[in-house]
Amino acid sequence: MSEHQGVLKTGTSTIGITFKGGVVVGADHRATMGHFIANKSVQKLFKIGNNLALTTAGLVGHAQSLSRTLTAEVALFELRRQQSMTVKGAATLTANILSGRPHWVQLLIVGVDADGGHVYSIDSAGGSIPDVYCATGSGSPYMYGVLEDGFKDNMTQAEALKLAARALHASGQRDAASGNGMDLAVITPSSGYVQLSQDEIANLLK
């Protein structure tokens, strides 16, 4: 991603992992301007529906605008159809928004529907790619090292949470543009979107 002098950017580490019965999603807190740490508590993980989440890497303004748009569109869909939007539907909606007006962002759409848990990576031009796990942002090389070593099919929720926390912690240790803690959430059909407390995250890292 090209450098925008003086513009608040999130160098960023975000992650989505499927497990048996749902998905885990998370992001770090740090925002940078070049080599300067501009903010240590930026939100990069957004609930956009009871079964859907968005993570953002890129320009903060574009990310916040997209989160508001997607939350409104998902709510409108559910009001009209009286059913939850599928994860693929949310990913397609997001991709269509980006293809119409490109943003300086890299996104994950993560959620659950009748077909299980899903993770979609969406680039700034609207390309959409599904996977069982995905990491984005400048910290992604460090996270993929942890993910490729630790991921397995049909993981439990506890295993997926520990793996996500370990991957985000690794990126925060090695990537200068990532860190200052993390947000983590679990999405399941029975409980919907549930965000972990900072104490719960600290226990995962012990």
> What is the band of 116 on the pLDDT scale with cuts at 50, 70, 90?
very high
Q: Percentage of residues in the chain with pLDDT exceeding 90?
A: 59
- pLDDT score at 177: 47
Q: Is 12 a catalytic residue?
A: yes
pLDDT at 102: 61
Residue 64: CATH number of its domain: 3.60.20.10
Domain membership flag for residue 6: no
Higher pLDDT, 37 or 159: 159
Distance CA 125, CA 129 (A): 12
The confidence band for 161, taking pLDDT boundaries of 50, 70 and 90, is: very high
83 is a domain residue: yes
Write down the pTM of the prediction.
0.88
Residue-number span of the structural domain to which 41 is assigned: 14-184
Average pLDDT over residues 10-21: 87
Is 156 a domain residue? yes
> Does the residue 112 lie in any domain?
yes
Catalytic residue among 10, 12, 55, 56: 12
Q: How far apart are CA 94 and CA 88, in angstroms?
A: 10
Residue 199 falls inside a structural domain: no
| Per-residue model confidence as pLDDT tens digits over 22-59 | 999 999 875 555 554 545 567 889 999 999 999 988 77
Across 84-113, average pLDDT:
87
Count of structural domains, the chain = 1
Token pair in block for residue 150: 């630790």
Mean pLDDT of the chain: 85
Q: Provide the pLDDT for residue 138.
A: 81
Q: Is the pLDDT of residue 100 over 90?
A: no
Q: What pLDDT was estimated at residue 127?
A: 83
- Is pLDDT above 90 for 71? yes
> What is the pLDDT averaged over residues 1-30?
74
- Under the banding of pLDDT at 50, 70 and 90, the label for residue 2 is very low
Any domain includes 132: yes
* Residue 139 domain-assigned (yes or no): yes
The answer as to whether 9 is a domain residue is: no
